[in-house]
Amino acid sequence: MTAQRVPERGGVAPAGALAYEEVTPAELLGSGFAAPRINESPWLVRWDLLGDGPDTDRFVLDALAETVDLETSGTTGPSRCWRRTREQMWSEAGLLAGLIERDRPSAILSFAPPRHVYGALASVLVPARLRLPAWYRPQYFGAMPPPESLRWAVVAVPWTFSILRRHVAWVRRTEHLTVLHSTATLPAAAESVVKEAGRRRMRVVEVFGSTEAGGIASRTWNPDGPPWELFDDVEFALPDGEADDAPSRERPGDPYGEETPLVVRSPRLAFRPGEAPADVWRTDDYVRRLDGRRFRFDGRRDRLVKINGRRIDLDRLEESVRSVLRCADLAFLPVADALTGENFDLLVVPDGGAPLSVTEVRAAAGRFDARPRQVRLVDRIDRSDTGKLRRLQRPSLSDAGADT
């Protein structure tokens, strides 16, 4: 193993530049997806140097355990273990590889920790599928790999886009950038990065899925919000397990059909240790089906609240308020309310550059007709390492700014 110290703009690396440790494919796979060394430290794996000798499929499958245990992100409660066979993992890696392969990437830079299913697939197995060198960067600060005018694929989590904005010179030096994003709603910063890089240079591909179901659907992002299309091995299903291939039932004046829970059938469904795999999986998402293969996403069940007959998607509201309020972070939390039944609170982390008051926060939220039950200025917001908001927040370290 060797450590490559990468300069910010090529040439001689300055002291303290980010060091990417070169790890062999066998060492990476042998460490296990949850190993601290492959989640917490930068590394480089040269899958492109495997050569034509070993069969890649056999090499990878032999290196993995028969079943792979991965944890949920813990965003709605305690983390839980879900199990997949190695064949399911390798199959899904092939589907994800197909989403970026058309852009002919020559290297991959990943920000997704392998301890979660998306990172295990996209950071480790997708590069193996494509036989591409893979760089992994867990830190927010530090140098990027040398762009060398390569066609890059970037495996993104929500905060990746703010890193790309900080390194827009690096982005512009690449020949092409394909960004694969999953785990959460695409942040508003993504559109800014695409505009700065140029639409011909950059394509953003979104994956819709979960730890329990794996990848369900995908789409190529554009500002108009295109529909999601199911992966080839996924189909809509009914809660009783029957396949449902009929077009969505449309209501007069509603071109997108009725809102319904998303229930799917897939050969890649995960299962709990000691339990048999389920035939179908009912997600926490609500969608409007367009036909037998496509849908519009309405929101996650735990992020939708209804107040006085008005339904509010807290993820979309969060992105809207974030675009007009200067802060380090913010989050809307669904809460129970004695008067309205459902409501939401707003947590805000000031950025430290200027004072921020509850009145200013309420004014910013009010621009989107949002009236939080409570606004609280806090020191930090508890998120998973893929950027998802955890339902169970730690108490604020200070009551300053609390609005009770």
Burial of 97 (0-12, 13-18, 19+ CB in 10 A): buried
> If one looks up domain 2-299 in CATH, what number appears?
3.40.50.12780
Q: Each residue of 175-219: pLDDT tens digit?
A: 999 999 986 778 778 888 998 888 889 999 999 998 899 999 999
Residue 309 is predicted with a pLDDT of 65
Task: Please list, residue by residue across 183-213, b when 16 or more beta carbons sit within 10 angstroms of its beta carbon and e when fewer do.
Answer: bbbbbebbebbbeebeeeebbbbbbbbbbbb
Burial of 250 (0-12, 13-18, 19+ CB in 10 A): middle
Which regions in the chain score pLDDT beneath 70? 1-18, 51-54, 73-79, 183, 239-257, 308-309, 338-340, 385-387, 390-404
Question: Are 110 and 39 a contacting pair, CB within 8 Å?
Answer: no
Rounded CA gap, 265 and 263, in Å?
7
Scanning 143-248, the segments in alpha helix (DSSP H) are: 160-166, 168-173, 189-197
As annotated, the residues of the chain forming the CATH 3.40.50.12780 domain(s) are 2-299
The amino acid occupying position 363 is A
Distances (CA, A) of 22 to 11, 12, 59, 365: 19, 18, 19, 47
Rounded CA gap, 121 and 275, in Å?
23
Token pair in block for residue 21: 């440790």
Token pair in block for residue 199: 């639409």
Residue 181 is predicted with a pLDDT of 95
The amino acid occupying position 69 is D
Rounded CA gap, 118 and 243, in Å?
26
Fold of the domain spanning 308-377: GMP Synthetase; Chain A, domain 3 (3.30.300)
Question: Are 364 and 348 a contacting pair, CB within 8 Å?
Answer: no
In 10 A of CB 228, how many CB atoms?
Answer: 20
Element (H, E) at 202: strand 202-210
Rounded CA gap, 36 and 387, in Å?
18
Chain centroid to CA 165: how far? 18
Question: Are 330 and 381 a contacting pair, CB within 8 Å?
Answer: yes
HSE toward the beta carbon, residue 204, CA cutoff 13 A: 28
Residue 180 is predicted with a pLDDT of 97
Rounded CA gap, 128 and 94, in Å?
10
Rounded CA gap, 329 and 361, in Å?
12
Q: In this structure, what are the phi and psi dihedrals at residue 385, rounded to the nearest 5 degrees?
A: -75, 0
Place of tokens 């997600």: 283
Q: Dihedral of the CA atoms 213, 139, 193, 361 (nearest 10)?
A: 90
By three-state DSSP, how is residue 338 classified?
coil
> How many residues would you count in the chain?
404
Question: Are 287 and 297 a contacting pair, CB within 8 Å?
Answer: yes
Rounded CA gap, 136 and 293, in Å?
34
**Residue 123 has what DSSP assignment?**
I
As annotated, the residues of the chain forming the CATH 3.30.300.30 domain(s) are 308-377
